[in-house]
Amino acid sequence: MSQFQTIERYQPTRSTYQLLPFRFTPLDEHQYVLTNLAGEYIVLNRPSLHDLLAHRLSNVDPAYIDLRARHFLMDESAAITPTLLSLKLRTRYQRLAEFTGLHLFVVTLRCEHSCPYCQVSRRSQDTQRYDMTPEAANAALTLAFRSPSQHIKIEFQGGEPLLNFPLIQTIVLEAESRNQTLGKDLAFVIATNLALINDDILSFCRDHAILLSTSLDGPKDLHNANRPRPGGDSYERTVRGITLAREVLGHDRVSALMTTTEASLSRVHDIIDEYVAQSFNGIFLRPLSPYGFALKTRSYHAYNTERWLTFYRQGLDYIIELNRRGHDFAEYYASIILKKMFTSDDPGYVDLMSPAGIGIGAAVYNYDGSVYASDESRMLAEMGKDTFKLGHVLTHTYEDLFTSPALLDPLEESFAYSNPMCHDCAFEPYCGAEPVYHYAMHGDFVARKPESEFCRRNMETFRYLILKMENDPFAKRLFLQWANR
């Protein structure tokens, strides 16, 4: 029909195009992954990448059309591009303005478990020495409510926090009372091994909408070997606690975290099967953190990054197969990364934030009233390095603590976008600054990234996730769902 124009008529009149900010990194032998400012990625082969960079890519090349639509380049047909790109970028960082949402209260260091990997617990009856005082708790609460965030989550940590349950009750009641005028979205979590859970505690949790987060390392033999306690019945008590808590609080009010040890490395299927058997909807396949007793007992170096990656890949493959067979089950570390890949929503996971999550993502009020920039910061302090100690709840003001050099210096120095190698890395939008890890392992907030196990582990994880999606349409669909959980 002559009255209609062909598509050629709508092509840009000039064949020139402008590159928008993006970075690229080899994905495998033949392919590169490119990421734009908003974290969107595209996979190109080497010749196409060369053509793109040399401004030789034809505007009817399918790669060109994808690159233009996903804001890697612009030409005169898409003047709206900078507006959309900046909108996504702003959205990615909007959480910063909210500031600290997660506030960890270490109500006691005491614990009846004696896990060799534990970062911070004490087998002690000395309540004077290892419990938080009500005065400190009250001051910490005042600080937590000073946060501009509309969402305040208070997480009770230990040790085993249920050993100081009366203080938890006091804090919850006081927080609720203060929140009547503040009107914030207030949530509570207790991180507990559940060994001491009982009906009274559960009733309180139910009445105050408190979530429980527990530890489950895998099947009985592995869990009990990892988590010794008097009687050797940690697994039995945890599973009983999960059942009981679900009955009283509801199935989705109890979550579990696993810790990977050397003994776990060959047993990823068993561990996942245990989570499936306990009716969890997913698992967080976590690497062991290098803090506390873990480093002291050398268990951290007992396995290296390569072995963890093998463990992780095997686990992820297994979980994908579970889903392919119709079982809805997620891996949460991948889900966090995928959220960063596919949405402009920051999942707020402290290890994978840049600017770093310390102080901004979370703050820790320790049993002795000292304030730390993150959970890892106080673990590091237990090793004698209090670099990330911001001050004390009774002697410092909110302004003192949250503008202290102990917070601002590492935040500024570690910002990945301006760090050597991170700046050029295509995976920077998915990664984190992690000054605490790098300080612990390398002695400064940045470290040399080629020597960083954190860098290596995450780069390989990002690559693995992208390759999975490139090669398996089912995985792509599944991952898109995980990204939006």
Q: Which residue has the tokens 């996730």?
A: 465
Q: Which residue has the tokens 């935040």?
A: 411
- Single out the segment in contact with another protein by CB under 8 A; choices: 83-91, 98-106, 187-195, 235-243: 83-91
Which residue, 72 or 415, is less far from another protein as judged by CB?
A: 72
274 binding another protein? (CB under 8 A): no
Q: What does the block give as tokens for 349?
A: 């996971």
SS3 of residue 32 by DSSP: strand
Is beta strand 102-106 parallel, antiparallel or unpaired with respect to 151-157?
Answer: parallel
What's the CA gap between 174 and 193, in Å, rounded?
Answer: 25
Which residue, 84 or 96, is less far from another protein as judged by CB?
A: 84
* Binding residue (CB under 8 A) for another protein from 4, 16, 181, 199: 4
Count Cβ atoms below 10 Å from residue 390 Cβ, excluding itself: 24
* Binding residue (CB under 8 A) for another protein from 28, 53, 66, 409: 66
Q: What does the block give as tokens for 10?
A: 């709508």
Which residue, 81 or 121, is less far from another protein as judged by CB?
A: 81
Report the half-sphere exposure of 282 (CA within 13 A, side-chain side). Answer: 16
* Binding residue (CB under 8 A) for another protein from 316, 371, 459, 483: 483
Is beta strand 282-283 parallel, antiparallel or unpaired with respect to 330-331?
Answer: parallel
What are the DSSP E strand ranges found in 246-327?
254-257, 282-283
CA distance readout (Å), 340 to 115, 136, 412, 431: 33, 37, 21, 9
Q: What is the per-residue binding string for another protein in 84-123, x denoting contact by CB under 8 A?
A: x--xx-----------------------------------
281 binding another protein? (CB under 8 A): no
Q: Please, what is the minimum distance in Å from the beta carbon of residue 348 to another protein?
A: 18
80 binding another protein? (CB under 8 A): yes
Q: What is the per-residue binding string for another protein in 17-46, x denoting contact by CB under 8 A?
A: ---------------------x-x------
Which residue, 3 or 177, is less far from another protein as judged by CB?
A: 3
What are the DSSP E strand ranges found in 121-184?
151-157
Q: Please, what is the minimum distance in Å from the beta carbon of residue 78 to another protein?
A: 5
What's the CA gap between 58 and 55, in Å, rounded?
Answer: 9
383 DSSP 8-state letter: T
What's the CA gap between 16 and 75, in Å, rounded?
Answer: 7
Which residue, 84 or 408, is less far from another protein as judged by CB?
A: 84
CA dihedral 154, 159, 162, 165 (to 10 degrees): -70
328 binding another protein? (CB under 8 A): no
Which residue, 44 or 256, is less far from another protein as judged by CB?
A: 44
325 binding another protein? (CB under 8 A): no
Q: At what angle do helices 453-471 and 473-483 cross, to 10 degrees?
A: 120
- Single out the segment in contact with another protein by CB under 8 A; choices: 197-205, 230-238, 299-307, 336-344: 336-344
Q: Please, what is the minimum distance in Å from the beta carbon of residue 74 to another protein?
A: 10
213 binding another protein? (CB under 8 A): no
Which residues are near another protein by CB under 8 A? 1, 3-7, 9-12, 38, 40, 65-66, 68-70, 77-80, 83-84, 87-88, 342-344, 477, 480-481, 483-484
